[in-house]
Amino acid sequence: MTTSTESATARRSRTWQRVYARRLIVTDLLVVVLAVYGSQLLWFGLRPVALEQKFQIGIGYNSVSIAITLLWMFVLSAYATRDLKVIGSGTLEYRRVVDSTIRLFGIFAIVAFLLRIDLARGYFLTALPIGVFLLLWTRWAWRQWLRREQARGLHVSRAIVVGERVKSENVTATIRRAQGSGINVVGALTRDGSVDKPFFGGVPVLGKYADILVALEEVQADTVVLTGADEISHLDMRKLGWDLEGKEVTLIVAPGLTGVAGPRIHARPVSGLPLIYVEYPAFTGVKRLSKRAFDLVGAGLIILISSPVLIAVGIAIKTSSPGSILYRQERIGLQGTPFGMLKFRSMIKDADDQLESLLDAQGRSAEPLFKVMNDPRITRVGGFLRRSSLDEFPQLFNVLLGHMSLVGPRPQRQAEVALYDDAAHRRLMMKPGMSGLWQVSGRSNLSWDDAIRLDLYYVENWSMTGDIIILWRTIRAVAMSDGAV
């Protein structure tokens, strides 16, 4: 195969990414124009309005709108919101969009203050939120389209993993487990090259490390993922990088760090050697205050909006079966502190007295996250409340009281916490939440190991953007669910 043919697959991979990025440019421009000129039209109508300023330059809001539009598009590019390695990735892409927009408007406000330009506050306060919302919505919509295409096997990178078998199998499993990674592992190269023993999940072993160029041609791969091996020296890696560069094949180095999000990772070159610094999880100061403010505002608004539904649910519970409307159960919260978690009662009176015998009968009493299958204690109204997750709404008052957060690891009983290992105990570093990452990633269908993995990822990589995305995904999950979160 010639050099031009060898790079054909890589070029096809780059083609869809560039087309996707160009589509983002078009929708970004439409959104920015709509936000800026829509705000100008809302506040000033069609008439030309001049700025009040110390220096009589004769600038009007039409000129300001043009400047903001051009600079907004520039900062979206400067902050790499359409970088080929970022587009379609989700949280990182959204965060860059928000950060670049906020910085742009901050700079405009500073310039206006220094030049004593009297800009209408309403003009800015309308354009900013509308623009951010529409930019995030269009990026989300494109991402959903991309996920549907990738589910059909389109617009994905075909990758070969290279390295020690255990490391490569872990990386392969992680990539396959991550929805929307955009990477399809089609083969592996190991030290001994045992082709008769495929990886877990059926990924074939294509040969030894030295067979990489032949393997790329064989499976038409456009990406190489290096997972690490003592036999591959720094000179070998440098030569491999040169060979792959000529074929336009992407080189990815997986350092073996799992459960660490991008903002905690910083690369610093030392004499040409890229060193990776990993920040420890920190949830203090401004981060804690911002999350608490978000909880208070969010819980208050949800209670206000949903109050008619809450009243109707209370009436239905009271009239359908004897017992109280609310059910208070002790759960374990921040740093292992117990608290009373509130729910709408969905079971018969004194249901807790029957729990131990039901779990023993089903052989599930020694399992974390234990649940009674086909629970006979659930009332008719309670079954509906659980399917719709309405039974969880009283926990909004736990959020207001500071026992819980809108988003966080799900609170568990003392008996379940007693089964934790050292890793699982890190869930208690943050307040428990009404919803969490594992609930929106699989709800009640995930295994214990997967639930812990997702909760630990959330605890160690918390961000406000991530909370907003989880809340949005919670709404979608509840709407399409057949069981409680």
pLDDT digits (tens, 9 = 90+) for 370-418: 555 566 677 888 888 888 888 899 999 999 999 999 999 988 888 888 8
Task: Say how far apart CA 206 and CA 11 lie, in whole Å.
Answer: 23
- pLDDT over 50 (residue 195): yes
Q: Which residues pair with 433 in a beta bridge?
A: 405
Backbone phi, then psi, for 187, in 5-degree steps?
180, 170
Mean pLDDT, residues 197-212 taken together:
81
Mean pLDDT, residues 140-149 taken together:
88
What per-residue confidence (pLDDT) applies to 2? 39
Residues of the chain with CATH 3.40.50.20: 157-256
- Which tens digit of pLDDT belongs to each residue from 69-96? 999 999 999 988 888 778 877 777 888 8
What per-residue confidence (pLDDT) applies to 389? 83
For 157-256, which CATH class? alpha beta
Q: How many CB atoms lie within 10 A of CB 151?
A: 11
Task: Say how far apart CA 395 and CA 342 lie, in whole Å.
Answer: 5
Task: Say how far apart CA 282 and CA 287 lie, in whole Å.
Answer: 8
- pLDDT over 80 (residue 10): no
- pLDDT over 90 (residue 15): no
Which residue would you say has higher pLDDT here, 363 or 166? 166
Query: Beta strand pairing status for 157-163 and 223-228?
Result: parallel
Which residue would you say has higher pLDDT here, 9 or 68? 68
Task: Say how far apart CA 296 and CA 392 lie, in whole Å.
Answer: 17
Question: What percent of the chain is predicted at pLDDT more than 90?
Answer: 19
- pLDDT over 90 (residue 128): no
Which residue would you say has higher pLDDT here, 355 or 19? 19
Which residue would you say has higher pLDDT here, 112 or 257? 112
- Which tens digit of pLDDT belongs to each residue from 242-254? 888 777 788 888 8
- pLDDT over 60 (residue 4): no
- Is pTM, for the whole model, over 0.75? no
The CA R_g of the chain, rounded to the nearest whole Å, is 27
What per-residue confidence (pLDDT) applies to 456? 83
- pLDDT over 70 (residue 258): no
What per-residue confidence (pLDDT) applies to 138? 94
Task: Say how far apart CA 75 and CA 98 lie, in whole Å.
Answer: 11
What DSSP assignment string belongs to 239-286?
HHHHHHHHTT-EEEE--S--S--GGGEEEEEETTEEEEEEPPP---TH
What per-residue confidence (pLDDT) applies to 65? 85
> Quick one: pLDDT band at residue 156, thresholds 50, 70, 90?
confident
Most confident of 1-10, 50-59, 118-127, 385-394: 385-394
What per-residue confidence (pLDDT) applies to 46? 65
Q: Which residues pair with 160 in a beta bridge?
A: 187, 224
What per-residue confidence (pLDDT) applies to 238? 80
